[in-house]
Amino acid sequence: MGSLFRSEEMCLAQLYLQSEAAFACVSELGELGLAQFRDLNPNVNAFQRKFVNEVRRCDEMERKLRFLERELKKDKIPIRDTGDDPVAPPPREMIGLEAKFEKLENEMKEVNTNQEALKRNFLELTELKHILRKTQSFFEEAAMYHGNQPETNQPEEENLLVNDYAKTPYTKLGFVAGVILREKVPAFERVLWRACRGNVFLRHAEIETTFEDPHTGDTVNKCVFIIFFQGDQLKTRVKKICEGFRATLYPCPETPQERREIAIGVMTRIEDLQTVLNQTEDHRKIVLSQVALDIRVWFIKVRKIKAIYHTLNLFNVNIAEKCLIAECWCPVVEIDRIQLALRKGTELSGSSVPSIMQRMNTKEAPPTYNRTDKFTQGFQAIIDAFGIANYREVNPAPFTIITFPFLFAVMFGDIGHGLLMFLFALYLVLSEKKYLAKKPENEIFEMMFDGRYLILLMGIFSMYTGFLYNECFSRSINVFGSAWNVNAMNDSNTTLQGSGTLTLDPKTYGVFRGTPLPYPNGTGDPYPYGIDPIWQSAGNKISVQNSYKMKNAVIMGLLQMIFGLVLAFYNHRYNKDYLALFCEWIPQLIFLMCLIGYLCILIFYKWAVWNVLNSNSAPSLLIGLINMFMFTKPTWAKKTQLYSNQNEVQITIVIIAILCVPWMLLTKPIILYLRNKFQGTTRYAGVRVAVDETSDDVAILDHDHLDDPETASITPKDEEEKFDMSEVLIYQVIHTIEYCLSCISHTASYLRLWALSLAHSELSEVLWTMVMHSGLSAKGILGAFMSFVIFWGFAGLTVGILLVMEGLSAFLHALRLHWVEFQSKFYKGEGYLFTPFSFSLIVEGRVDE
Amino acid sequence: MGDIYDMFFNMDSGYLEGLVRGFKNGILNKEDYRHLTQCDTLEDLKLHLQGTGYGHFLANEPSPLTVSVIDEKLREKLVVEFEYLRNHAYKDLATFLDFIKYSYMIDNIILLITGTLHQRQLSELLPKCHPLGIFDQMETVTIANTTADLYNAILVDSPLAPFFKECISEEDLNEMNIEIIRNTLYKAYLEAFYDWCQRTGGPTADVMCEILAFEADRRSIIITINSFGTELSKEDRAKLYPRRGKLFPDGLIELSKADEYESVKRVSELYAEYRPLFDGTGNNPGDKTLEDKFFEHEVTLNVNSFMQQFQYGVFYSYVKLKEQECRNIIWIAECIAQRHRAKIDSYIPIM
């Protein structure tokens, strides 16, 4: 069987690594990514482990790198991605790296502080420049008011002030000027007014250009303000308030002459500063562009070192023998590669003593490892989402590859919709290299991308079932020519004109090409593939298709459930669980066959035996099934009998089915009970077997247990589980009831195949007749125009409702049929996933240590 | 009313309640504290905190770590979480969260006024203010000389204005005065908060009134004990008692007459809830202080608040629990930093 059928065979191995070779060996194993290490010191705190200092140094390096990365992002310098994957450098190189990062960080910090100081200086000067410019207009205004005082109709307080200004000597009115954040202005103004009891005059003007906060780098809007007041007490008060609102005050001379002089000085200083700033910026750019070349490689190196030390922390340290002991799960077939990696690691480190790998015996369940590729991983994900398979349990994923898209397509059968879905998936598949390289941000898109092969198959299968249903956007395609002939009915003109619908009676000669036997010259075959296109326009289309699809659903359901049981058989055989095979599996199969299997046989029988001529007297299968359990005798007269001796056959079937119930329920617990009673002898045998094992293995196991008293105390308990008859019995009762009920309910559940298929075809037909048809039925130029406009509506609704929403619902139902109806027959799903120590996952940041 | 309230609760605040319950699961448990107390250095502490809900909150801090950096980061994390809740809160919950902020505002104002009184620079005081209690006018409180000034010029626009009514006077600000202002403000705040919760009704009232009543009683008792030997008169003291707790009204009258610790104890022991808090407290080494007992009781109340659904109490409790947790971590960190391990276990475990 293929590798996907069962998970890889795993084994627990013990590694003895020389302490000087351990780093290189783990590094090689990390590149390989095939070993899952177990934590051998679960009771030791994170900070009490051996290599905690090394981990801490890596943390520190990572922090420095993150700092540099942030600086790069701030300056929008692209990080070079050469795609190469450096191996973890040996520990002695760590010091070099640390020194390098330290130097870079310090350099960067120095540049930053310099730049910040310069920028702050620059900011202050620019603010001063703005103050000088803006206050100029304030002063000019004041001067203007002074001149034209009588004409002004300013608010009262300003007038008062200007009056003061006019009357009192100029020097007595003090003022401060400064800059404040724009959003603080209203509160500032109010507090000023309140605290100074209205005795100050504030003017402010917005500065149009935005500033950059030198510390955070954010852009901020600021306002220039000038406050006039009288007296020293107010001055201190105003200054305090300014301080409270973090306004920066600047000296502003009173005469225009001085202001102009200062302004000129400021301008020259700004220019000087600008050149210095540019130089610092260039220097920063140079440093950063060097960093950008290597930072990705550094990140990978540091992460690898850190991961290695994290792994080493999981190991047991044997001080006496100067070696580290590790335990890991690994696939049996890969042991050679792992050993090769160990040898390589030992050679690289120059250690003289080889590293040893030894298989261990364990009672613990190994992890489940299914090797997937890009095609199968989507399907495996569906199974894993339900539950990770037990170790070496039959994996439903390979069968899901076909059954899942098929069941989906049964509910989604339409050539057109399937084609659109197929093309979408094909696009994803063809451009997968592009998307793999650059992971899409959108979560929904990523989900669809991960399931691209699933969608592709769903599209293909939908086209197939669409051909069978003969539906393309709810229209039929007449490929082979319909097998029905209206002319043969020889309807009179009155009938043709009088009634809206015509009856095509297949009993009439020549109306239906495929009519079975009684017509010797039956004139050929029915429509060779799928449903005859004439049904699309038939009035009784739905009732015919319902009957057909319903029966199909039951048959497909039975087939999938039986297939599930077959897989259960493989599980029992693999586990050598003959008790379950004979006491559970066989009665289960018989029970299912008696109930649903018999029904399916009747369906085929009825299809084969009843034909056009005697279809009037065909018995109802559902009533027949009910009567079977009521032991009502079917008769020809009541049109309930299908074949002779039916009653006897049915009674036998029901009795067999009923007998299966106690078989399932009781035999296994009774046998278990009897076994337990005579357990004394078997246990004795068990001990002998343990002694027979090679002395080496025993020693290792003992050693392991000594180090880890907790597991040692648990292990013997696991080995001999206490037998509790009542528990076994209750468990068996629950499972028997569950199985018996599920035979009925799961079969009924498969009817969703019919229901969703019906819903889909009805919905698409409604969409056609209500939207597209109305567009096509308009005449003339208007019609051309209309059908163009309406087509887009139709297309939008088709994609939105039928493809996305209906597709999602069909997907969910197919998912449910697999998880519940199919997998409940054989799948335990109580395992745990194999998570190997692998650099490729760690470097991508997908694994958080 | 209760049922209808429940029905619509999730519509407005369901997301945030879920969020806060999720946050609450990140609160350190006994095991975590046990590990923390075993740390030898602050680096160990950082390493262990990385494994908890705090994640990499210290990852970008250069070594060596100091306690103040840890404190700052812890606080920052709480503030970020709280601000997220506040920004997404709607209607009543927004008011409720604002109420939580008010207590920090009061603390900040008092801190600033006291600081200015002691001639400290504003730039030195600001970093000490709790970031949850920062508001626009806060930094200007330093200009006020009298309480009337303080109110008229600055606080009248702030959300604290309603609480300030009772403490307006023309007296100069001095140390005694500030204490009185703090307690009066707190009293007004607690009463307003209590009344608001009462009006909101439903499970919020059930849970919050219990917690706030305890808070009020705790304040009354602490004020009384701290007032012994100061110049605060008994009448003035009685004015500071929040009148919403279980001690109100009889207990408060008795408390106002108290002259010594024993009589406070006698009064409190009449109330079943507070009786155990006074048992076995003392200042001897090994004994728990009354304050610790109060903290423990508060933690119990706050943890219990998570038992009820469809109420705002969880938000209050989360903030308080987180605050307690920050105090615990800082305590442990200080003990580690000062190599004073004898008392490292006197933190207050939460879960």
3-class DSSP assignment, residue A69? helix
Averaged pLDDT of chain A: 82
Instruction: For residue A524, name the pLDDT band (cuts at 50, 70, 90).
Output: low
CA distance A482 to A431: 41
> What's the pLDDT score for residue A712?
40
CA distance A704 to A361: 12
Contact A46 B152 (CB under 8 A): no
> What is the model's pTM?
0.73
Are residue A738 and residue A770 in the same domain, yes or no? no
Query: What residues of chain B score a pLDDT lower than 50?
Result: 1
CA distance A27 to A90: 9
CA distance A29 to A842: 13
Please identify, among A233, A263, A278, the residue that sits at the C-terminal boundary of a domain. A278
Looking up tokens 């003959």 gives A578
Number of domains within chain A:
3
Are residue A780 and residue A722 in the same domain, yes or no? no
Whether pLDDT at A443 is above 50: yes
> What's the pLDDT score for residue B64?
78
CA distance A736 to A662: 9
Please identify, among A278, A298, A317, the residue that sits at the C-terminal boundary of a domain. A278
For B151-205, write each residue's pLDDT tens digit.
877 787 788 888 887 777 667 777 777 888 888 889 999 999 999 999 888 888 8
CA distance A43 to A36: 19
Q: What angle do CA A615, A616, A621 make, to 5 degrees?
A: 70
Contact B154 A62 (CB under 8 A): no
Are residue A671 and residue A815 in the same domain, yes or no? no
Assigned domain for A252 exists:
yes
Structure-block tokens of residue A516: 């079975």
A291-300, A396-405, A727-736: the lowest-pLDDT one: A291-300
Are residue A265 and residue A402 in the same domain, yes or no? no
Contact B43 A241 (CB under 8 A): no
Are residue A701 and residue A764 in the same domain, yes or no? no
Assigned domain for A364 exists:
no
- B219's enclosing H/E stretch is helix B202-227
> What's the pLDDT score for residue A208?
81
Share of chain A above pLDDT 70, in %: 89
> What is the ipTM for the molecules in this complex?
0.75
Whether pLDDT at A848 is above 50: no
Residue burial B146-174, b: 16+ Cβ < 10 Å; e: rest: ebebbbebbbebbebeebbeebbeeeebe
Query: What Å distances lie between residue B321 and A805, B88, B327, CA to CA?
Result: 45, 21, 10
Whether pLDDT at A397 is above 60: yes
Whether pLDDT at A715 is above 50: no
> What's the pLDDT score for residue A622?
87
CB contact at 8 A, B299 and B318: no
Are residue A586 and residue A472 in the same domain, yes or no? no
Which residues in chain B are contacts of A57 at CB distance < 8 A? none
CATH at residue A253? 3.30.70.2750
Whether pLDDT at A135 is above 70: yes
Are residue A159 and residue A255 in the same domain, yes or no? yes
> What's the pLDDT score for residue B192?
92
Which of A59, A69, A196, A199 best tests the B interface by mutation, with the highest count of B CBs <10 A? A59
CB contact at 8 A, A803 and A422: no
Amino acid of residue B90: Y
Residue A249, φ and ψ in degrees, nearest 5: -100, 145
For A158-213, write each residue's pLDDT tens digit.
444 444 444 444 446 778 888 888 888 888 888 888 877 778 888 888 888 888 77
Are residue A742 and residue A593 in the same domain, yes or no? yes
CA distance A184 to A214: 19
- A797's enclosing H/E stretch is helix A780-797
Q: Please give the DSSP secondary-structure letter assigned to residue A361.
A: -
Contact A67 B60 (CB under 8 A): yes
Query: What Å distances lie between residue A453 and A4, A155, A414, A457, CA to CA?
Result: 17, 76, 19, 6
Structure-block tokens of residue A409: 């397509």
Assigned domain for A817 exists:
yes
Average pLDDT over residues A539-555: 91
CA nearest neighbour of A225 among B138, A216, A241, B158: A241
Contact B59 A190 (CB under 8 A): no
Strand positions, DSSP E, A398-455:
none
CB contact at 8 A, A14 and A338: no
Q: What angle do CA B30, B34, B37 make, to 5 degrees?
A: 135
Residue B289 C-alpha from the chain's centroid? 18
Are residue A737 and residue A801 in the same domain, yes or no? no
Assigned domain for A714 exists:
yes
Give the range of the structural domain holding residue A451, as residue numbers without chain letter: 379-488+756-843
Looking up tokens 């009384």 gives B224
Which of B137, B150, B164 best tests the A interface by mutation, with the highest count of A CBs <10 A? B137
Assigned domain for A741 exists:
yes
Other Cβ atoms closer than 10 A to A515: 20
Domain boundaries, chain B: 94-195
CA distance A139 to B227: 58
Length of chain A: 849
Residue A181, φ and ψ in degrees, nearest 5: -65, 140
Share of chain A above pLDDT 90, in %: 25
Residue in B35, B142, B152 closest to A194 by CB: B152
Whether pLDDT at A520 is above 60: no
CA distance A58 to A93: 12
Which residues in chain B are contacts of A67 at CB distance < 8 A? 60
Are residue A622 and residue A737 in the same domain, yes or no? yes
Which residues in chain B are contacts of A187 at CB distance < 8 A? 136-137, 157
Chain A interface residues facing chain B, Cβ-Cβ under 8 Å?
A: 45-48, 52, 55-56, 59-60, 62-63, 66-67, 184, 187, 190-191, 194-195, 237, 240-241, 243-246
Q: How far is B55 from chain A (nearest CA, A)?
A: 11
Residue B281, φ and ψ in degrees, nearest 5: -95, 155
Whether pLDDT at A710 is above 50: no
Burial class (CB in 10 A: 0-12, 13-18, 19+), A568: buried
A363-372, A632-641, A759-768: the lowest-pLDDT one: A632-641
Instruction: For residue A660, name the pLDDT band (cuts at 50, 70, 90).
Output: very high
For A450-463, write each residue's pLDDT tens digit.
899 999 999 999 99
> What's the pLDDT score for residue A845?
57
For A811-844, write each residue's pLDDT tens digit.
999 999 999 999 999 998 888 988 888 887 776 6
CA distance B45 to B26: 17
Contact B137 A60 (CB under 8 A): no
> What's the pLDDT score for residue A553?
95
3-class DSSP assignment, residue B29? coil
Angle between helices A807-816 and A752-767 (to 10 degrees): 180
Q: What angle do CA A388, A389, A392 make, to 5 degrees?
A: 145
CA distance A721 to A730: 17
Structure-block tokens of residue A561: 């459930």
Burial class (CB in 10 A: 0-12, 13-18, 19+), A336: exposed
Are residue A254 and residue A161 in the same domain, yes or no? yes
CA distance A344 to A27: 10
Cα atoms found within 13 Å of the Cα of residue A637, Cβ hemisphere only: 1
Assigned domain for A256 exists:
yes
Whether pLDDT at A684 is above 60: no
CB contact at 8 A, B280 and B287: yes
Are residue A264 and residue A140 in the same domain, yes or no? yes
Q: Which residues, other chains included, contact A80 with Cβ-Cβ below 8 Å and sequence gap of 6+? A: A292, A293, A294, A296
Interface of B with A in 202-261 (CB under 8 A): none
Assigned domain for A245 exists:
yes
> What's the pLDDT score for residue A694?
42
Q: Which residues, other chains included, contact A365 with Cβ-Cβ below 8 Å and sequence gap of 6+? A: A390, A391, A831, A832
Interface of B with A in 121-160 (CB under 8 A): 122, 136-137, 139-143, 149, 152-154, 156-157
CB contact at 8 A, A592 and A568: no
> What's the pLDDT score for residue A160?
46
CB contact at 8 A, A599 and A554: yes
Instruction: For residue A688, name the pLDDT band (cuts at 50, 70, 90).
Output: very low
| Chain B residue with minimum CA distance to A66 | B60
Max distance between CA atoms of chain A, in angstroms, equals 130
Please identify, among A278, A293, A312, the residue that sits at the C-terminal boundary of a domain. A278
> What's the pLDDT score for residue A146?
59
> What's the pLDDT score for residue A756?
94
A583-592, A677-686, B66-75, B129-138: the lowest-pLDDT one: A677-686
CA distance B17 to B9: 10
For B16-54, write each residue's pLDDT tens digit.
999 999 999 888 888 888 888 888 888 888 888 887 878
A430-434, A501-505, B322-326: the lowest-pLDDT one: A501-505
| Chain B residue with minimum CA distance to A49 | B44
Averaged pLDDT of chain B: 85
